[in-house]
Structure 1
Amino acid sequence: MINTIEKIKEYLGDAQDDLLKHTCETITANQLTLPGPDYLDQVFTGSDRNVQVLKSLASIYNHGRLGGSGYVSILPVDQGLEHTAGSSFAPNPMFFDPENIIKLAIEGGCNAVATTFGGLALHARRYAHKIPFIVKINHNELLTYPNTYDQIMFGSVREAWNLGAAAVGATIYFGSPESNRQIQEVSEAFEEAHEMGMATILWCYTRNSAFKTKDKDYHSAADLTGQANHIGVTIKADMIKQKLPETNGGFRDIKFGKMVPAMYDKLASNHPIDLCRYQVINNYMGKIGLINSGGASSGASDFAEAVRTAVINKRAGGTGLISGRKAFQRPLKEGIKLLNLIQDVYLSKDITIA
């Protein structure tokens, strides 16, 4: 039987040496607050978070296969609103029933499930004590014509609390015309959530047509996403969800905002782990956990892509993965296998901080 690290190397293929043997020489690991069993004690017991927030954070960090490790694996399913239900669930129609979303998270050994008010409300009494709930409180919707892209509130923080949520999640489209309003709405919601004893998780996405040029898409640039993260931790997100960086130089090449050359040659390099570490350092040097998103389902390559993302996130100093479509857009057993494979990366002692 193949052991865990060999299985991971197999999925990494020709990239295994580049990803598993890389050493960060930009911001070194000893400058970071790293995930571990004492992570909550290190970061939050000296903060202004009240006792109930600490309990809520502990319920997430201590649940599932990664419980007690300082790492998290979260199943997010809000694509029925963000991408339309038909296009999201056509590959696996069982997930039109939100109970199956919760069941997948439980059977997949996740730390928590993140989904909509309606889906969690319908099954709250049956499952709120079995897995931590993260209620997504704002969404984009695609039924307006022509399509517009804006995050609007779909419910109240109090209603999330009534559902037994351990945390609320929200998205801000940084760089969009609506971002100032979204920052104000979400910061107020996060303040209320903390007062009521819930943790806060921010989806820090960049969105602006100017961020995509003829030659390159900078929506996943390390400098732009890193700054989005930094704004996110400023409004007191307890965890940041971000896309894995695939490039850099957004401020420099689009010629906006503020930049200095050291952002690109001292704080980061072109190596994928160093790009991700730039995101981590913008999360208060790792004090606020970075969870990278799993991305869209690509079919047969999903398992290899998930392993690559998890290895980069872990070795960069990140806290885990929040992967949805790769898991639920396939048969249930395969979805569980994929989630467990991601978790195996974080459980492996052979994969260390770069």
Structure 2
Amino acid sequence: MRNSHDELLEMLGEDADYLLEHKCRTIAREQLSAPGWDFVDRVYSESNRNNRVLVNLERLFSHGRLKDTGYLSILPVDQGVEHSGGASFAKNPAYFDPENIVKLAMEGGCNAVASTFGVLGSVARRYAHRIPFVVKINHNELLTYPNTFDQIMFGTIDQACDMGAAAVGATIYFGSQNSDRQIVEVARAFSYAHEVGMATILWCYMRNSAFKTGGVDYHVAADLTGQANHLGVTLQADIIKQKLPEVNGGYKALNTGDSSYGKLDERIYSELATDHPIDLTRYQVANCYMGRAGLINSGGASGKNDFADAVRTAVINKRAGGMGLISGRKAFQRPMSEGVKILNYIQDVYLNDKITLA
């Protein structure tokens, strides 16, 4: 392991004890299918996934610095479509070139690189056999005026398979006006992806302007994101990507006055979660069939304290029972050497035996 435990403690600062000494008394760790070197054999092999899917899942878990640990570190770079190429790559124009995206994932010791049909297809013959590809099959194209915030298909499962991809990824904006259509499209695509032998990763994002109310953004509420995860695993996603929860009580906030939204049980808040970030994330893991589908949390936007923020997110995910991090902008919106460094810091959390399941 490259970075010492003391160095990681220093990066956590005053939150070190708060995060590392926390004991989860909501959903016990013994109830989880926890990540481990044998996860494919122990968990996925009990499912209806065919042998080719299991082989590709093993490809993901057997690559990079985290190989054979049961944890994943994935570099996602689909922001050129989702956030526009200029907004994403102006800080570091080298990443307009798809080869540099793949090189960053390889130099950074990632398990896989996730990107668009165009990015991965443009370098597939050179790199598809050298690092697992995750092809993102749908996007919010962002040029429609006014912005519609809809996910539409950009290619086919057969294209991803022919490219040599180990997995496909997709986003559903749960709660959005077009979520029903997205659910149907992704369900069909994931079913066929499994049929031809690829693993599936679902970005389970909440999206509705009404989810911001009373000065609080409930897009990152544990109860709403937890249910989004539960819908994701219902679609048989093998791995769920979700934002780290920051609050709770989304159902309560949206069930006020004349409005009625979803269904809730008070035990969601009193017994299944507290306001501690590890407990909130444990609730997300529980909604992934108690960890039978792995939870990977997103790294978030680049900011002032990227290295410390990345380590903190990794600690929360690991101690909650998650399967790893999928972090992009923090890595590619800086020189490659620094991007590699931040990816390695994330991986060091999962390689550190002293950071355990809460």
Q: TM-score range by the shorter chain?
A: over 0.9
The residue correspondences of 1:109-128 to structure 2 (distance < 5 A) are 109-128=109-128
* Runs ≥4 residues deviating over 3 A: none
Alpha carbon RMSD of aligned pairs, Å? 1.0
2:116–2:137 Cα contact (<8 Å) kept = yes
Bigger mean CA deviation after superposition, 289-298 or 213-222: 213-222
Separation in 1 of the partners of 2:291 and 2:48?
A: 18
* Alignment correspondent of 1:209: 209
Residue matched to 1:327: 331
1:315 aligns with 2:283: no
Alpha-carbon distance, 1:252 to partner: 1.3
Counterpart of 1:269 in structure 2 is: 274
Q: What amino acid is aligned across from residue 344 of structure 2 in structure 1?
A: N
Q: Give the Cα separation in 2 of the matches to 1:112 and 1:230.
A: 24
- Partners of 1:258 and 1:42 in 2: how far apart? 33
Matched-pair contact (CA < 8 Å) for 2:213–2:253: no
Is 1:292 aligned to residue 309 of structure 2? no
Which digits, 9 at most, give the CA deviation of each residue in 1:261-282, with x for residues without a partner? 1000100000000000000000
Say which SS state the counterpart of residue 203 (structure 2) adopts.
Answer: strand
Residues 132-165 of structure 1: CA deviation (Å, up to 9, x unaligned): 0000000001111111100000000000001100
Give the AA of the match of 2:336: L
Cα displacement string for residues 214-246 of structure 1 (whole angstroms, at most 9, x for unaligned residues)? 321100000000000000000000000000000
**Distance in 2 of aligned mates of 1:215 and 1:335:** 34
Say whether 1:260 aligns with 2:268.
Answer: no
Give distance in 2, aligned partners of 1:309 and 1:194.
30
What letter is aligned with 1:203?
W
1:51 and 2:71 are equivalent in the alignment:
no
What letter is aligned with 1:160?
A
Counterpart-to-counterpart distance in 2, 1:188 and 1:266: 36
Read off the aligned partner of 1:145 and give its amino acid letter. Y
Any unmatched runs of 5+ in structure 2?
256-260
When the two structures are superposed, what TM-score results if normalisation uses the length of structure 1? Answer: 0.99
- Among all aligned residue pairs of Structure 1 and Structure 2, give the percentage whose two residues are the same amino acid: 66
- How do 1:1-354 and structure 2 match up within 5 A? 4-255=4-255, 256-299=261-304, 301-354=305-358
Query: Residue deviations 1:34-77, cap 9 Å, x none?
Result: 00011111111121111100000000011000000000000000
Tell me how far apart the structure 2 counterparts of residues 105 and 117 of structure 1 sit (CA, whole Å).
Answer: 17
Question: What is the alpha-carbon distance in structure 2 between the residues aligned to residue 40 and residue 118 of structure 1?
Answer: 30
Shift of residue 11, structure 1, vs aligned partner? 0.7
Q: Indicate if the aligned counterparts of 2:3 and 2:348 stay in contact, CA closer than 8 A.
A: no
Give the whole-Å Cα distance in 2 for the aligned partners of 1:208 and 1:318. 26
How far apart, in 1, do the equivalents of 2:276 and 2:270 lie? 11
The secondary structure found in structure 2 opposite 1:219 is helix
Provide the rounded CA distance (Å) in 2 between the counterparts of 1:336 and 1:224.
33
Name the amino acid aligned to 2:34: L
Deviations 1:67-112 (A, max 9, x none): 0000000000000000000000000000000110000000000000
**Deviation per residue, 1:6-43 (Å, 9 max, x gap):** 11111100000000000000001111110001111111
| TM-score, scaled relative to structure 2 | 0.98
Distance 2:118 2:312 in 1: 33
